[in-house]
């Protein structure tokens, strides 16, 4: 469960860059539980902002050719919002607005190191998070930001949501995915959808929030034990699928539990419904195994596909442990993710360590019940 929340509210010191110091043990070794969860959340948050956000607000994937993706801009907004780094928030959005926004009201998903946009398509996970965070902003530019958030939320509903013949609605992976029924379940957050319903007054968001637990359950009807990275909508039913050609950073020829599905575990663990937390706790039965907990990808039955270690699966396992009310395991797994990051630093590792700590161990981003 979430710890040290009250202490976090009063933490006023912005800590220096760099992830929490520790021994050089491998990620599958036992890591002591930290004494101050709120301090570590702040530390991880500012490490990401300091190491990956340029002075002008551009978020750079330094380990991936110095490009920028809309997802990274959204992560920086999310982290900056959580730690009240208003100037960073403002600069990140300003850069996004000036360099990524397209005529359809959505940001291009990627810009290369030289400033070129090789693909103007958008990614709905970034778009939804940006809309939500802009609408929630209460800084000095809140009127401008909230208006931009409303426009972005409207554009998501217009261009990135599949409306079915039976009256259903679900977020597709982007405009390109609507006609093809391509779904990435890690783009769904019932907590974010529900808050967007409140902020925009549009009931479609509330409907999609209510459907998240049902849709995730639908993906495991045929014996899958873990959620998939990608899914396909066919005859108004969701089916696990391989990654779409030319889209995924780690293409797969079969349905798998990888980086995308691992994010879905975290969103489920912090979801507003009891069913989502039960699902995440159920997945912990598999993910508590050390070899699975640190592996980049698994088959949906839990067999290891790619056993290379990475922080992201450890963050997901920490989220599942949190949902299962195993606080000590959750803390230890998160600390292990940090050890893994120090041995092999990466943009996504830093981002999800920060987001994992903020979402699981503080209430800085909690929306349930608002």
Whole-angstrom distance, CA of residue 249 vs CA of residue 348? 12
Question: What is the separation, in whole angstroms, between the first and last Cα of the chain?
Answer: 19
116-145 per-position pLDDT tens digit: 999 999 999 999 999 999 999 999 999 999
213 near 273, Cβ under 8 Å? yes
Q: How confident is the model at residue 249 (pLDDT cuts 50, 70, 90)?
A: low
The pLDDT value recorded for residue 335 is: 97
Residues of the chain above pLDDT 70, percent: 87
CA distances from 316 to 79, 88, 161, 176, 325 (A): 18, 27, 26, 28, 14
The pLDDT value recorded for residue 251 is: 64
- What mean pLDDT do residues 244-251 have? 65
Whole-angstrom distance, CA of residue 279 vs CA of residue 271? 10
The pLDDT value recorded for residue 167 is: 87
CA distances from 162 to 157, 158, 171, 233, 310 (A): 9, 9, 6, 9, 33
- What mean pLDDT do residues 270-276 have? 92
90 near 148, Cβ under 8 Å? no
Higher pLDDT, 11 or 175: 175
Q: How confident is the model at residue 36 (pLDDT cuts 50, 70, 90)?
A: very low
Q: Is the entire prediction scored with pTM above 0.85?
A: yes
Tell me which of 3.40.50.740, 1.50.10.10, 3.40.30.10, 1.10.1040.10 is the CATH number of domain 5-16+36-361. Answer: 1.50.10.10
Q: How confident is the model at residue 113 (pLDDT cuts 50, 70, 90)?
A: very high
Residues of the chain above pLDDT 90, percent: 78
The pLDDT value recorded for residue 369 is: 62
The pLDDT value recorded for residue 367 is: 72
Q: How confident is the model at residue 35 (pLDDT cuts 50, 70, 90)?
A: very low
Position 228 pLDDT exceeds 70: yes
- What mean pLDDT do residues 70-85 have? 96
The pLDDT value recorded for residue 217 is: 84
Q: How confident is the model at residue 340 (pLDDT cuts 50, 70, 90)?
A: very high
């Amino acid at each position: 469960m979430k710890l040290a929340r009250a202490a976090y509210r009063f933490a006023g010191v912005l800590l220096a860059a760099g992830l929490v110091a520790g021994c050089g043990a491998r990620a599958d070794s036992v890591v002591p539980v930290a004494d101050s969860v709120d301090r570590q959340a702040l530390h991880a948050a500012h490490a990401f902002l300091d190491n990956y956000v340029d002075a002008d607000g551009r978020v750079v994937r330094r380990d991936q050719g110095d490009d920028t993706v809309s997802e990274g801009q959204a992560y920086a907004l999310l982290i900056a919002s959580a730690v009240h780094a208003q100037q960073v928030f403002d600069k990140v959005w300003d850069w996004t607005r000036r360099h990524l926004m397209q005529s359809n009201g959505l940001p291009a998903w990627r810009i290369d190191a030289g400033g070129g946009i090789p693909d103007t398509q958008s990614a709905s996970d970034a778009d939804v998070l940006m809309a939500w965070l802009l609408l929630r902003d209460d800084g000095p530019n809140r009127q401008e930001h909230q208006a931009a958030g409303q426009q972005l939320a409207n554009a998501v509903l217009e261009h990135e949501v599949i409306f079915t013949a039976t009256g259903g609605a679900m977020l597709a992976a982007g405009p390109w995915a609507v006609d093809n029924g391509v779904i990435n379940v890690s783009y769904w957050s019932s907590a974010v959808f529900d808050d967007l319903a409140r902020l925009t007054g549009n009931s479609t968001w509330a409907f999609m929030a209510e459907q998240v637990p049902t849709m995730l359950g639908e993906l495991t009807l045929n014996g899958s034990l873990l959620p998939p990275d990608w899914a396909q909508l066919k005859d108004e039913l969701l089916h696990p699928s391989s990654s779409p050609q030319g889209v995924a950073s780690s293409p797969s020829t079969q349905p798998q539990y990888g980086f995308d599905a691992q994010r879905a575990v975290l969103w489920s663990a912090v979801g507003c419904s009891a069913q989502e937390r039960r699902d995440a706790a159920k997945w912990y039965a598999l993910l508590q195994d050390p070899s699975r907990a640190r592996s980049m990808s698994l088959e949906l039955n839990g067999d290891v596909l790619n056993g290379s270690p990475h922080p992201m699966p450890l963050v997901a396992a920490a989220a599942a442990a949190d949902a299962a009310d195993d606080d000590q395991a959750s803390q230890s797994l998160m600390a292990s993710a940090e050890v893994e990051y120090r041995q092999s630093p990466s943009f996504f590792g830093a981002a999800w360590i920060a987001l994992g700590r903020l979402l699981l161990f503080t209430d800085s981003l909690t929306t349930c019940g608002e």
